[in-house]
Structure 1
Amino acid sequence: MKNIKEDTLLVSIIVITYNSADYVLETLESIKNQTYKNIELIITDDKSKDNTIEICNKWLDENRKEFTSSKIIVTANNSGIPANCNRGIHAAKGDWIKIIAGDDILLPDAIENYIRFAGQNEECEIIHSKVVRMVHRGSEIEKINAERYPKTLHQNMFPKTQFKLLRFSTMVLAPTVFMKKDLLERLDYLDESIKLCEDWPFWLKLTYHGSKFYFLNKEMVLYRIHEKSVYSSNENKFLIAPFHSVEKSIYEKYIRENVNFFDKLIFDYYYALRDYFFRFNDSSFNSLIKFFYDFLSLPYRVYRKLTFLVYNK
């Protein structure tokens, strides 16, 4: 890189691990192989039951000289994803933070591209990009490239528009996010009360309070999807995804009191409907039950579709 100012920015890459022994070496090697070299590496583990820590310690002993600084953080008790991330963030000294799970892979020029993009967009505080999905199908791995021009949150939107779209789902792919540490500090870090979701609550909070996402239209990360993933594709076999209870708690805490009366009616109806049909997850739901659920959820789905047509052209 030719820009001396950009080279002087310290980037803290935080690897969050939990029973990550199978893939963490690939993650760490991808960080070592970055074309951008002013990197602080922090590995923070959430009380793994396998030998993740031993693997990481051995690798760091052999590769510590590749980084400006490095450390491993361990905890006595499993505390959830947001708390694990926050431990790394609190320890970070970098201007920018990149959080990556211990089974994903950074493409070699990812950090260089993020830093260059940030330099070209001086007001941006948080960037997201595209991923290549690595889907494990037995012994085979299928790589699925992103759409060329995806419809997503971008810098030409107002923060309130991004919030309107985020009400329906997280949209932003957490493995691609690159953000300033002072943004996290200003918004009081990630919400540790919602233990299985670190990203969506923070996206809602930052857009509601006037910050916005910038979009870098490049693939930066190989995102692994396998049977041990926190949100694996196995959820597709259910009528209502088991993650529903987490989504509902996020809705109640970050969305419900920040929308108008009509929106509240629509969203309350939708989550009540999902609560009712969630009971059918315990048995093999039939096509008639699915038909009724699809029919009754039609008002919400139409409203969502109209919102995206209006705001995400």
Structure 2
Amino acid sequence: MDNSNLVSVLVLSYNNLRYMKECLSSILEQNYQHIEIIISDDFSSDFKREEIEQFIIENKKENIVNYIINQNSCNLGTVKNLNKAISLATGNYFINLACDDLLFDVEVISNIVKYFLESNYLILAGYVAQYDEQLKECLLTTPTWQYIKHIYGNPIDCYRLLCAGNFIPAPGMSYKRELIDRYGMYDEEYKLLEDYPRWLYLARNGCSIGFLPRYIVKYRKGGISFNRDDKNNKIYNDDLALVKEKEILPYVNTIKDVIYK
């Protein structure tokens, strides 16, 4: 089977399943013709596989060529769960999506594939619209205009700026299978933080990050990332400390003008 046009949408879930059908609807409504849905749940207590599968079956059109529903046998953390989803996918393109977020409109996937076909980028970001929990009001847009030129500029310049803090949004992150083949899977030394160390690693190793100037995702404030308990807060902060130790400090003397606060 030729999967060169296939887009695998990786839907990650963990105890935020009340929005799953909204998320899936935003995928099922896409006008792109070759879509695979990979759902990977990180051992949620209320995961309802049969209900999710029935929803997909009842609402999918011919453009949904495959779907896989996985639930891990124990909680792995965000990074390992994402790698699990990637390992299950068969597409040439990947889009990361949390199950409490939505693709912004019906042309998102078509526009992403068009961008990849017309450029040499292996990975791209786009605008993310952050909404309230009910998705009624747009609260802010990221990234802000002053950072955008650094996303698709020189990768070392991008790396320098990333060392001061992450400014590239993770929701809707899109990439080609070639990126995985060339740079490997996500770093499983991290537990919850998948995006920031990935941006740093790629930029530092000369991978230019593309920017698609359109909204990719409606990001729901109040989702799982906003509701970490004390245990997960510690894990998240440990991940941030590891970013500094592993992705930034060893390169301060080789990358000029790196600033970390």
Q: TM > 0.5 between the two?
A: yes
2:103·2:217 contact (CA, 8 Å) conserved in 1?
yes
Whole-Å separation in 1 of the counterparts to 2:214 and 2:82: 25
1:174 partner SS: coil
How many percent of aligned residue pairs carry the same amino acid?
29
1:89 is matched with which residue: 82, 86, 89?
A: 86
Partner of 1:291: none
> Highest Rg: 1 or 2?
1
Are 1:255 and 2:248 an aligned pair?
Answer: yes
Q: What is the identity, as a one-letter code, of the residue corresponding to 1:150?
A: W
Partner of 2:6: 10
TM-score, structure 2 as length reference: 0.86
1:19·1:52 contact (CA, 8 Å) conserved in 2?
no
2:77 is matched with which residue: 77, 80, 83?
A: 80
Gaps of 5+ in 2: none
Q: What is the identity, as a one-letter code, of the residue corresponding to 2:138?
A: K
2:209 is matched with which residue: 205, 213, 222?
A: 213
Matches for 1:97-176 after TM superposition, within 5 Å: 97-107=94-104, 108-121=106-119, 123-136=120-133, 141-146=136-141, 150-154=145-149, 156-176=152-172
Are 1:197 and 2:193 an aligned pair?
Answer: yes
Whole-Å separation in 1 of the counterparts to 2:152 and 2:47: 45
Partner of 2:67: 70
Whole-Å separation in 2 of the counterparts to 1:95 and 1:80: 25
More helix by share: 1
Are 1:222 and 2:215 an aligned pair?
Answer: no
Aligned length: 253
| Higher relative contact order (Cα pairs below 8 Å, separated by 6+ residues) | 2
1:170·1:200 contact (CA, 8 Å) conserved in 2?
yes
1:59 partner SS: helix
Q: What is the identity, as a one-letter code, of the residue corresponding to 1:125?
A: L
2:135·2:220 contact (CA, 8 Å) conserved in 1?
no
**How far off its partner does 1:111 sit?**
0.5
Q: What is the identity, as a one-letter code, of the residue corresponding to 1:257?
A: P
Q: Deviations over 1:165-191 (max 9, x none)?
A: 111222111113110122123222111
Q: 1:261/1:13 Cα in 2 relative to 1: closer, same or farther (>3 Å)?
A: closer
Q: 1:52/1:222 Cα in 2 relative to 1: closer, same or farther (>3 Å)?
A: farther
